[in-house]
Structure 1
């Protein structure tokens, strides 16, 4: 059933239920139309409730990163500048990061936390090593490095903002942008290693 997208849509449905259209009251209301309008409102309410539940679930997942290993992890702040320097060191041909904005820091912190929790990292040194391997993995992809050419399209050059997004990072680690299939295994600490990169 079509979702109500605007307040005006809802108002029209409510008016049709009450028998008012265009400011004039109907003398006889079509019961079928009235029932249909009520169903639309009910569907709209269910959809809004589902979206709210999804938002709550995303917030719950985000908070779980803070709660896991909270005692050890709380003291390990994300070293934004060091990671930015690693980006420039490992990927000198890609776009430079001119400034660490609040949005970039928040996104990078999410990936930093995800790596610590899911790769079971313990120290800042291990976290930086994870990012060094991650950036090295990117450098081995012709597509991400802009070395592939498709007729009618400009080469794709990945950016810092693109790779630090946790969803994109997973795709990169799994080898979605590498020509050869990824070689993966689980090491002695129970961590997934893809093409030599300890990942999530």
Structure 2
């Protein structure tokens, strides 16, 4: 199975550490990634949850654990994961959001789609509220947080959360704010979006 995030991680590691060290780190990360896929933590997950774990979450868990295993400190590991999540993943998502903003009626469309996905997806448990100018989504459980806890790397989760600030920050038609996240040890994530 082709996993785009694995390709990104390989390029990131080579860029950061050079061809030889980066490739060696990636080989270790990839082995751990496949071990995580086969672990009991992926059992009893739905098809959509397994897909998200494999395509999005577990590559980062494997990278985080690999760097710690290879002797990087917690601070160094977090800094590398932040760099990857913010400058690559978050920046790509932000670019996609900026392009979507060009669509006429963007706010109404995005609000409708975001809320529909949250209602129908089993990746989160949430409640919602909306007006014509804003919408709120309160998440009490999410697969990213669950996966980080199950794989003994809860400190990684806040990096996933903080990447949302890159994705939604500085958009022209959509304002984003949040005061709590599960990743920072709170009891829920409170997404607030409003029309600019």
Q: TM-score, normalised by structure 1?
A: 0.26
- Structure having the higher Rg: 1
Q: Which has the higher contact order (CA 8 A, sep 6+)?
A: 2
Q: Which has the higher helix share?
A: 2
Q: TM-score, normalised by structure 2?
A: 0.26
